[in-house]
Amino acid sequence: MKVSTLLDQIDLGAMALPTFQRGYVWNRDQVRAFIASLYRRHPVGSLLVWVTATDDATTKGQSALQPGFVKLLLDGQQRITTLYGLVRGRAPAFFEGDTRAFTGLRFHLRDEVFEFYTSLKMADDPLWIDVTQVLRDGPSAVLNRLNESAEHRARFGDYVQRLSRLHSILEVDLHVEEVAGEDKTVDVVVEIFNAVNSGGTKLSKGDLALAKMCARWPGARDALGARLQKWQRYGFSFRMEWLLRNVTTALTGQAMFAQLENVGTKEFEQGLTETEKSIDYLLNLIASRLGLDHDRVLGSRYSFPVMARYLAMHGIPVKDARERDRLLYWYVHSFLWGRYAGSTESVMNHDLAVVNNGGTVLDHLVDQLHRDRAVLQVTPEDLWGWGQGARFYPLLYMLTRAYHARDWASGLGLSSHLLGAWSQLHMHHIFPKARLYKAGYSRSEVNALANFTFLTAETNGFVSDRLPSEYLAEFASRHPGVIESHWIPNDPRLWEIENYREFLAERRRLLAEAANAFLNALWLGGLPEERPASALTTEHAAVGGIASEEEEEQVLLDLNVWVVRQGLPEGEFQYEITDTMTGRALAVLDLAWPDGLQVGLSQPVAVLIDEDEETEAAANRAGFRYFTNPREFQEYVRSSILAEADALVGAAAR
């Protein structure tokens, strides 16, 4: 089928994009390579469409579909969208992405190269011509302009030929394979999509469940996305599959997405609304009672589906303060001991069965935790973890907020002037890193959890790289009790760098005592009601982490954003590798995709920045392919996942 005909079919509503397709992810390099291939008449691969009844089709965009049958693009979205944008000068109705990827493409008539417009290079050279102008309006206007110049008449014949060749891209015949028949259900088509989409992103179980729901309710994806965007504004970044899991458990009491098969559209819409209320309630409850007020300290997000089901059965709010605190007690212990670190669905179903059975649900849920860990007590040995990824990092933040640890310089409770504005709270190394490394301590010792505390940005800057022996006494004198409020040993001998290991041991003991006192008060009652403010009160400009290791953190954040822009799944920050038998934490990976960048179909992958050999070895044993250089990781994504390196398109990066 000719390119011009394909584009006309989109305008006529005869060809569209199914709802389960993700958005446009090509970059300018891919656009240039693709158009160069068409210009030189190189093979660019065939298209695959699903021919289905218009009445049964659920498509992206608002354009009307032709009656009867419609062709839904399964393979070729990136190529067709690129052609549409270049030829029409605008994006198609189904477009989701960045139009700058195909805006401003130029072609040099003498050198026969494609580049995007830059004024410095192209403004004074009339041989740089607008590709969209030629494709849309034909070569006449360009030829008339060039014919007026004596300088260009000598090669006028060459330019005519090249412009004609560029314009005749519209006449290129692209082979179109069709999938048709009554047996081609959404399930079958998604399987076909995954099989042929070798260079792109595969659809997960959640994607398939959503595709089926969109077949019945076309607005499902947008409705879910609106909730995710709301929570993003408040500093909580969740995946669509996570929200879908919460809706599934709330409605069905089961974790498997297949349970949605029997859920009607109206029931799902109502369930989504009620689940949103449950998550809002839980986020505010966890923030107000525990002080965990942003994404990076939330703990176990996989505990939410179980709690969503609990609230669906028992109502919002919970009946009294005792039930509320016992629910939070279970939640904290679920992330401290990695309740959902392994086989998430099976463990979740086990806990959901407890919730569904009724009775003294919270007692039974805690009994489940006891079966895996006899005593639900934090020991100093549990706090050996290091880095922000340790399970007990949220615990440290929680104690800081809930116990009103005081800022060293001002003497004020940190929670009182950081309500929701978590980006102002800086993580501080009590013993500065550079001084510890110089003294010969290892990376794991330098970044030990017991060496962390939280301060305001101003105080953090004032302390800078001084040793605690140089500054703690000053703060202790100015504000009595302020040092102890951070569970820092009040023994000047332990503030000396040569006694650093003793300092860590004593602080772990103090933190364990504080944690157990807090958790026991949650379960038994007696915890004061006055807590920090709710989570959904202050919008944040961006989701990130507590200010610490700023450059490293920004690199990881930028890298994750880049991956998402390629149409790939978001990675997990500070992913914990655990022993599947004991649940013991083995290592923490800076940024990881445990299910692969092509969920369930490609190797687990991680990015490790300045990690030690022990972490790298643990990642390797766990089956992760890891990268220590972000650029090398990006090249891997391009060449192995998007398959764009050394290929002008072919069957890749659809």
> pLDDT tens digits, residue range 329-387?
999 999 998 888 766 788 999 999 999 998 899 999 999 999 888 889 999 998 886 65
| Contact by Cβ (8 Å): 277, 367 | no
- Give the whole-angstrom CA distance, residue 625 versus residue 293: 33
- Listing DSSP states for 81-132 in one string gives HHHHHHHHSS--TT--S-GGGSSSEEEETTTTEEEE--HHHHTT-TTEEEHH
| Contact by Cβ (8 Å): 301, 279 | no
Structure tokens that stand for 280 in this block: 């809002």
Cβ atoms < 10 Å from Cβ of 160: 16
| Contact by Cβ (8 Å): 531, 416 | no
Quick one: pLDDT at residue 270?
96
Quick one: pLDDT at residue 650?
41
Quick one: pLDDT at residue 585?
67
What is the 8-class DSSP label of residue 40? T
CA distance readout (Å), 125 to 117, 141, 193, 627: 12, 16, 45, 43
Q: Which residues 6+ apart lie within 8 Å of 380 measured at CB?
A: 505, 508, 509, 511, 512
Average pLDDT for the chain: 84
Mean pLDDT of 263-267: 92
Quick one: pLDDT at residue 186?
66
Q: Which residues 6+ apart lie within 8 Å of 427 measured at CB?
A: 388, 452, 453, 454, 546, 547, 548
Indicate if the pLDDT at residue 173 is higher than 70.
Answer: yes
Question: Per mean pLDDT, which of 18-32, 162-176, 177-191, 445-459 is the most reliable?
Answer: 162-176
* Predicted confidence (pLDDT) per residue in 50-89, tens digit: 888 888 777 877 678 889 988 988 888 889 999 999 999 9
* Cα angle value 471/474/478 (rounded, 5°): 145
pLDDT-derived band of residue 492, with 50, 70 and 90 as boundaries? very high
* Cα angle value 234/23/81 (rounded, 5°): 145
Indicate if the pLDDT at residue 553 is higher than 70.
Answer: no
Question: Mean pLDDT lowest for which of 231-245, 422-436, 612-626?
Answer: 422-436
Question: Mean pLDDT lowest for which of 56-60, 236-240, 510-514?
Answer: 56-60
If DSSP codes are grouped into helix, strand and coil, which group holds residue 406? strand
Give the DSSP H or E segment for 273.
Answer: helix 265-290
Quick one: pLDDT at residue 146?
80
* Cα angle value 584/586/587 (rounded, 5°): 135
Structure tokens that stand for 458 in this block: 């101003």
* Predicted confidence (pLDDT) per residue in 374-426, tens digit: 889 999 998 886 655 567 888 999 999 888 899 898 888 876 444 334 335 67
| Contact by Cβ (8 Å): 482, 406 | yes
- Give the whole-angstrom CA distance, residue 241 versus residue 256: 12
pLDDT-derived band of residue 204, with 50, 70 and 90 as boundaries? low
Indicate if the pLDDT at residue 459 is higher than 90.
Answer: no
Give the DSSP H or E segment for 363.
Answer: helix 361-372
Closest C-alpha among 253, 243, 303, 230 to residue 275: 243
pLDDT-derived band of residue 486, with 50, 70 and 90 as boundaries? very high
* Predicted confidence (pLDDT) per residue in 282-332, tens digit: 999 999 899 888 887 888 889 999 999 999 999 999 989 999 999 999 999
Listed in order, strand segments (DSSP E) in 492-584 are: 572-578
Do strands 113-116 and 105-108 pair parallel, antiparallel, or not at all (unpaired)?
antiparallel
Indicate if the pLDDT at residue 121 is higher than 80.
Answer: yes
Quick one: pLDDT at residue 543?
33
Quick one: pLDDT at residue 580?
62
Place of tokens 């007026």: 148
pLDDT-derived band of residue 241, with 50, 70 and 90 as boundaries? confident
Closest C-alpha among 652, 653, 588, 582 to residue 626: 588
Structure tokens that stand for 181 in this block: 């028949």
- What is the chain's length? 654
Do strands 452-456 and 176-179 pair parallel, antiparallel, or not at all (unpaired)?
unpaired
- Listing DSSP states for 287-315 in one string gives HHHH---SGGG---GGGHHHHHHHHHHH-
pTM above 0.85, yes or no: no
